[in-house]
């Protein structure tokens, strides 16, 4: 059994679509890789000044931080600092990247597997350093993920596709999310891949998608635009029905996490 550590850059994850993620499901994702979780760290900015002035804000954040701890995570706060720039404007800064990188390097001495939660390309050197020490490094991220980082890690998990990781949006309980892995531009059809579980290979890639069932802002698209969904790695949201003995996607639209 591999020994695992989890290192989550929470401000990056929440800023890019991961708000409300379930910390227990993140642990389930890691154990599904054949591991035992020994370390689980969550790095988060803390604005003490604002919390001192806004009681409701402080209570909400305290409740959120308590929930993180209840799920067995060590919370590493990074206090927000305020500076005045050359123009006299107040600039806020709270970067936990260094804390996360140092902890990951030191704690990885007794670990075999690292799940890094971020989309920030600044962690590319950390990933390479961990891999050079024989560690498997997987990535969990949402939107705005560095292409280099995604390509460097051993496996990339899109948080939008992990079953149960995010709360369901209103009216979207039965909707599925996936991406087009094959597209026939001339004939206007393709096949979608969806995640069926938490294992690396828990994928289904046989969901048929026809151009007639995809719209952009309520309007049909041409064949070139449809085929570009594959090359641009665009996430799609859709319903699934059985048609002629196989799963078929209908009501297909681009997935947008910002409402």
Contact 159, 142 (CB under 8 A): yes
Q: What is the pLDDT of residues 216-237, one digit of tens each?
A: 999 999 999 999 999 998 999 9
What band does 82 get if pLDDT is binned at 50, 70 and 90?
low
Which among 164, 259, 253 has a CA at the least distance from the CA of 214? Answer: 253
| CA atoms within a 13 Å half-sphere pointing along the CA-CB vector of 10 | 23
Convert 38-65 to b/e letters by CB count within 10 Å (16 or more is b). ebbbbbbbbbeeebeeeeeeeeebeeeb
The yes-or-no verdict on residue 24 having pLDDT over 80 is yes
Mean pLDDT over 141-163 rounds to 96
Mean pLDDT over 105-132 rounds to 97
- In the chain, the percentage of residues whose pLDDT exceeds 90 is 78
Least trusted range by pLDDT, from 50-64, 119-133, 156-170, 236-250: 50-64
DSSP letter at 134 equals: T
Give the 3-state secondary structure percentages of the chain, helix then strand then coil, rounded to 5.
30, 35, 30
Mean pLDDT over 29-55 rounds to 92
Global pTM?
A: 0.90
Which pLDDT score, from 0 to 100, does residue 53 have? 86
Distance of CA 120 to the CA centre of its chain: 11
Mean pLDDT over 138-142 rounds to 98
The yes-or-no verdict on residue 201 having pLDDT over 50 is yes
Q: Which of 24-38, 53-67, 92-106 has the highest mean pLDDT?
A: 24-38
The yes-or-no verdict on residue 87 having pLDDT over 60 is no
Distances (CA, A) of 158 to 67, 100, 174, 217, 221: 23, 21, 19, 24, 26
Across the chain, mean pLDDT equals 92
Q: What is the pLDDT of residues 157-185, one digit of tens each?
A: 999 999 999 987 765 667 999 999 999 99
Convert 170-187 to b/e letters by CB count within 10 Å (16 or more is b). eeeeeebbbbbeebebee
Which pLDDT score, from 0 to 100, does residue 95 have? 67
Which pLDDT score, from 0 to 100, does residue 23 have? 96
Which pLDDT score, from 0 to 100, does residue 157 have? 97
E-strand ranges in the chain read 2-9, 35-46, 74-79, 81-84, 90-93, 113-117, 136-141, 155-158, 176-184, 189-195, 203-210, 235-243, 246-254
Rounded to whole angstroms, the Cα distance separating 162 from 140 reads 10
DSSP letter at 16 equals: I
Mean pLDDT over 36-45 rounds to 95
> Which domains does the chain show, CATH number per domain?
2-158 (3.40.50.1010), 176-254 (2.40.50.140)
The yes-or-no verdict on residue 91 having pLDDT over 50 is no
């Amino acid at each position: 059994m591999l020994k695992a550590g989890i290192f989550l850059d929470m401000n990056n994850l929440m800023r890019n679509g991961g708000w409300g993620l379930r910390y227990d499901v993140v642990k389930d994702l890691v154990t599904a890789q054949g591991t035992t979780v020994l370390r689980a760290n969550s790095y988060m900015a803390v604005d003490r000044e604002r919390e001192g002035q806004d009681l409701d804000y402080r209570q909400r954040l305290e409740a959120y931080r308590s929930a993180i701890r209840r799920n067995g995570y060590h919370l590493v706060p990074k206090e927000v600092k305020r500076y005045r720039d050359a123009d006299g404007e107040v600039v806020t800064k709270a970067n936990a990247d260094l804390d996360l990188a140092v902890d990951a390097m030191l704690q990885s001495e007794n670990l075999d597997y690292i799940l890094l939660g971020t989309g920030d390309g600044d962690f590319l050197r950390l990933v390479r350093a961990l891999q050079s020490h024989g560690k498997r490094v997987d990535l969990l991220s949402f939107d705005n993920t560095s292409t280099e980082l995604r390509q460097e890690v051993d496996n990339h998990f899109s948080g939008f596709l992990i079953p149960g990781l995010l709360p369901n949006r209103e009216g979207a309980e039965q909707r599925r999310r996936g991406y087009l892995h094959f597209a026939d531009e001339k004939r206007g059809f393709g096949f979608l891949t969806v995640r069926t579980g938490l294992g690396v290979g828990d994928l289904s890639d046989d969901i048929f998608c026809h151009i007639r069932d995809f719209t952009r802002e309520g309007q049909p698209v041409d064949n070139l635009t449809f085929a570009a969904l594959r090359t641009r790695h665009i996430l799609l949201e859709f319903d699934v029905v059985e048609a002629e003995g196989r799963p078929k996607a209908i009501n297909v639209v681009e997935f947008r996490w910002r409402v």
